[in-house]
Structure formats: structure tokens, C-alpha cells
Structure 1
Amino acid sequence: MLVDGDRIEAVGPVGELTQAYPTVRVRRWPGTLGPALVHDGPLPPAPTPRERVHALLRSGVGAVLAAHLTDPAVRAAAARNDVAVLDAARPPALTVGGRADLAVFAADGRCLATVVAGRLVHRRA
């Protein structure tokens, strides 16, 4: 996956992409790269709106349904973190020209990294 700003520039095997774009920075995680998830349900409980949004990011979420963002403080925290707010659920997808919302998952299902709008917002140490 080649990301430029907040968009996906190219999709392909890492060898082909690094050959075609030799000066790019490469990030690697020991897991499977795919689209960030769409959260369709109430946000996890937490003491602050920021922590509620961060709980989503830690789980690989890049979008949430508007119906679950009724609290203005939580909606503002989601906006500050570039979490996409959707009117209806849609299957997550990675497409050239599309928004760069990605996640890396370990074999056991743990989220290792979340990228929202091309920005790394979570990575497991």
C-alpha cells in the first residue's frame, strides 16, 4: 500500500511498490494489512470522549456510524482524530484514490496499527 497524504496512491506487492517508488519510507508490522474497520454500535465506555475514541483506534476502527456519535464532545473527539463519520454502514475497502484508512492485525486478531486518513494514530509497542 502506498499512501500519499490522506489518500491511497497505489496497491500492490511491497517489492513492486518499493521498486516503483524507491525513495518512500516503508513501515512494516508482523501482521496482515487491510482496511480499517467500520464501528457499528455504541462506543466503548471510558472516562473521557478522547479515551472513548482512542479505544476505537486501538481496535483498528477508522469509521463510526453517526447514529452512535450523539454526544457533541465525542463527535468532536472523533473529528479531531479524523475518524470518518458515516450515515450508513459500508464494507471497508482499500481503493486507489480512496481515503487511507488502514489497520494491521496480528494472527490472534489484536490490532497492531491503525492509520486514519493517512496518519498513524495507533501502534502497539
Structure 2
Amino acid sequence: MLTLHLADRSPEAAVLVDGASIAAVGPYEELAAAEPRARVRRWPGILTPGLLNPYGPELLEATYHPDPREADVLGTEPIVGARAREIFRADPARLGASARRGVQRMLAHGTVAVAGELRSRAAVDAVRRAGLAMGQRPDRLPGPPVLSPTPLILLPRLVPGGPARFAVFDVADRAELVRRGAGTCVATVIGGRLVYRGR
């Protein structure tokens, strides 16, 4: 099934998706006229190729992402350092569940690829199941491991025949995205599937 994704602040960069691939990229009016039966998904903001988060190992293997049912004891924010290591030592099975929740948090920040050498089977499986691509880790990391690194690392532009992997951010333009960060994500698409929807 064909799906046409349109972000209101970037109508010239609409994306027509056919299965897991991009069929076309271009002005919304042209794509809609060429494929009038395509399902249309309208989003606020801008559509981008999505983000590479360079902190795969740090966020998925060295950080504990609490289960919402643990909020009364552990809170809701990611736990790092000695406390995270203590949680994983006490119950190694928690690593897999934490990695899956970490991947979900990444998707909610427009991440479509991660970088860094993942050593645990649990983290590798969580990344693979979500369909996240593995990218090249930059020589210099942008700062401490966070879900919205500064500067944001955008993947190369979207092209016909390429993978349908992109994100939509509720901002006016890329400058505002850089200023406000990846927490403005409203949708993430991987393999043509909507894997995160903020609203």
C-alpha cells in the first residue's frame, strides 16, 4: 500500500512510501496527483531523514530505563552509573527489557539509526527488532550520552529506492530543530512502518 507523508512546514519534501522503500520524494501536490489513491498522513512541522544517535552502548547497555511499574521505587528517568550496574548485576534479565524501553525512547526522539559497538545480545536484539540501522560513530562524540545529542546528527537525504526511514519534528525549520532538540519528534517511520507517533 502506498502512503504519502506530508509535513506542513516542508510540503516540498513529501515522501511517498511503497512498503519498506521510498517510491518518490518531492512536492506534495505532484506526488498526490501522480498517486491519488495513496493514503495520506499529515504531520505538523518538518520531515527529515531521521537522526543517528551515536550513544548506542551507553544508552542501551549502560543505562537502565525503568519500567513504568517501577516508578514508585526507581522513578521514570533513565538511571546511569553505579546504580544501573547494580540493577543489572542483581537481575541480568533486566538488561533486555531496559534495552527495549531505551529503543522506544530513542524512537520517540526521531532516532532511526544508532552507532557504537553493542556487546550484549539483548541490546543487539532490541535494535534489530525495532529496525534501527547501525551507523558510523563520529570520531568526536557531541557530549554526554543523551537521547537528543547536541549537535543533532541527521542522516543523508531521502532518495527514491532508499529505505523508508525518516522522522517528523514539530518545528518550523531545521534551525528550530537544532535549538529545541529531538524531543520535538511527532513521528518516526522505519521500514515504512510508523514505529512512533507522538500525537
Distance 1:27 1:91 in 2: 22
Q: How much does 1:70 deviate? A: 2.0
Pairwise mapping of residues 106-121 of structure 1 onto structure 2 (< 5 A)?
106-107=170-171, 108-109=180-181, 110-121=184-195
Out of 82, 97, 109, which is 2:131 matched to?
82
Kept in 2: contact 1:35–1:92 (CA 8 A) = yes
Tell which deviates more after alignment, 113-122 or 43-52. Answer: 43-52
Structure with a larger share of its residues in helix:
2
Q: How much does 1:66 deviate? A: 4.1
| Equivalent residue letter for 2:105 | A
| 2:40 alignment partner in structure 1 | 26
- The structure number with the bigger radius of gyration is 2
| 2:155 matches 1:92 | yes
Kept in 2: contact 1:52–1:74 (CA 8 A) = no
Structure 1, unmatched stretches of 5+, are none
TM-score in terms of structure 2 length: 0.58
Distance 2:101 2:107 in 1: 10
Structure 2, unmatched stretches of 5+, are 1-14, 67-97, 139-152, 172-179
Distance 1:53 1:91 in 2: 18
Q: Deviations over 1:12-68 (max 9, x none)?
A: 11111010001000101111001011111232631311101111100000011142x
Kept in 2: contact 1:43–1:56 (CA 8 A) = no
| 2:71 alignment partner in structure 1 | none
**Between Structure 1 and Structure 2, how many residues are aligned?**
124
| 2:113 alignment partner in structure 1 | 63
Percent of pairs with identical residues: 43
| Equivalent residue letter for 2:122 | A
**Higher RCO (CA < 8 A, seq sep 6+):** 1
Kept in 1: contact 2:52–2:111 (CA 8 A) = yes
Tell which deviates more after alignment, 105-114 or 74-83. Answer: 105-114
RMSD: 1.8
Kept in 2: contact 1:38–1:91 (CA 8 A) = yes
Out of 39, 59, 66, which is 1:43 matched to?
59
SS of residue in 2 equivalent to 1:99: coil
Distance 1:28 1:122 in 2: 14
